[in-house]
Amino acid sequence: MLSLQKAANILGAFSAEQPEWGVRALAAHLGVPRATAHAYLAGLTEAGFLRRTPAGKYRLSWHIAEMGAQLTSSLPWFQEARALITRLALEVRAVAFLCILEGDEVVAAIRERHPDADIDLPLDIYLPATATASGKILYAHADMTPRTFAACTPSSITSLDEWRTEVAKVKRLGYAYSIEEWVPGQCTLGVPYHALHTAHGDTDTVVAAIGVQMSAQRYLREERHIRERVVQIVREAEALL
């Protein structure tokens, strides 16, 4: 088991300047064998303090960011968004989520599940940008073009022409949806979340995508009601910022 001092040394190695570590680099930084560094990283990942990226490196878990949100000014909107996700989960009776961009990766940073929700969604996972509602929103508002297309299901977007059409629709409608494009039998609906005052002085900036995920059967049956309710809840929350 990791001692508190060892855990502190490892977590302290992560910073804004060095947000990611690979096993080899961390071992050299700490002056320990690679096997030892790997064991440290695996233990902290299992405990929920770190997460492994698609490239095989490690980053701090968003659990830590959530705990520290009250003490940092870098995410002034985080606590309000956290309460908003809880409200969405309760009122829509589904899995509610908040996703952000981390470079060109889409990561689920906050997630709440109503006990009656008919699906589940893990936290701290990287999502395929072109196959999810969150990815469509975040990429569209950042004017980013995907490097690859994730063919997760037969319904996934797999070409640049399809993507451009989808992005134009997202910008026109003000929301995005993914109908069995990521996971068969599941749908997501997302809307942009605006932080009117950010640490960088920006105004009306889209900082995240917020929405709900549920079975395709329920979404298609209640699509209009769900969409109107989600948009209303998020806009009400933004008006209070």
Of 84, 79, 78, which is closest to residue 236 (Cα–Cα)? 84
**Tens of pLDDT, residues 53-66:** 988 999 988 777 66
Confidence of residue 5 (pLDDT cuts 50, 70, 90): low
Q: What is the pLDDT at residue 113?
A: 87
pTM of the model: 0.70
* Per-residue pLDDT tens digits for 30-52: 888 999 889 889 989 988 889 99
- Give the residue with greater pLDDT, 204 vs 17: 17
Mean pLDDT of 159-173: 96
Q: b or e along 164-180 (b: 16 or more beta carbons within 10 Å of the residue's beta carbon)? A: eebbeebeeeebbbbbb
Q: What is the pLDDT of residue 198?
A: 47
pLDDT tens-digit readout, 101-153: 988 999 888 888 898 888 876 655 789 999 999 999 999 999 999 999 999 99
Average pLDDT rounded to a whole number, residues 65-83: 67
CA separation, residue 209 to residues 68, 103, 141, 230, 233 (Å):
21, 15, 10, 12, 13
End-to-end CA distance of the chain: 43
- Minimum mean pLDDT among 80-84, 95-99, 186-190: which range? 80-84
DSSP 8-state secondary structure symbol assigned to residue 127: E
H/E stretch holding 215: strand 205-215
Question: Collapsing DSSP states into helix, strand and coil, what is residue 44?
Answer: helix
